[in-house]
Amino acid sequence: MIKYSFFFLLLFLQGCQLKPLIISDKSVETANCQIKQQELYLLQATEKRFLNAPTLRSKLLQTAIKDNNRAMTALLMSTPYSSTEQLQQAKLHFSKLRLNLQQACPGDQYIHLRDQYTTALLWLRAEQDNLQSQNQLLQIKIDALTQIESDLNQQREGQQ
């Protein structure tokens, strides 16, 4: 009986269809998005080039800074290759963007997610620094204990 009720439930649910999400061009235009759809494509293409071509990184970043393109600058400064200082600068650039997080603004949502990603990267860097300093302290303690052990062994050998 349970098998059959499960089977009928599946048949019933299979007949139900969800309405697909359709974003009309008018809703995107009226949403007042900071990052338009075409700009999002350009941002992502540039970001891909930045990540895949180490020799172009400096030039792409300098161009974004020179053009005063906050979104591009923030994206390029917020990669895993970036230093902590660059990540902090990226956060400043992200904070100056007025994003519209409505569903009709995927570009703004993408930038917002990258801002959150940058926050996570900064947290990971801080955690890594903390673990490295703890590791260094433990290494100092281990070295001190090793030295004490060595001194004690020398004293014992001298007494015998």
Q: Given this model, what pLDDT does residue 11 score?
A: 39
Q: Domain containing 90: what range?
A: 34-144
Whether 110 is in a domain gets the answer yes
Q: Is residue 15 part of a domain?
A: no
pLDDT of 2 reads 45
CA-based nearest residue to 100, from 157, 31, 49: 31
Q: Output the pLDDT for position 13.
A: 41
Q: Is residue 76 part of a domain?
A: yes
Q: Which residue has the tokens 């902590």?
A: 84
Tokens of 25: 């061009």
Q: How far is CA 99 from CA 7, 17, 72, 130, in A?
A: 46, 33, 14, 33
Instruction: Tell me if 23 is assigned to some domain.
Output: no
Cβ proximity of 99 and 105 under 8 Å: yes
Structural domains counted in the chain = 1
- Domain assignment of residue 4, yes or no: no
Output the pLDDT for position 15: 46
The reply to whether 10 falls in a domain is: no
> Where do runs of H (alpha helix) occur along 36-105?
37-52, 57-66, 70-77, 84-95
**11 falls within a domain:** no
Which residue ranges of the chain lie beneath pLDDT 50?
1-23, 27-28
Sign of CA dihedral 44, 46, 50, 53: positive
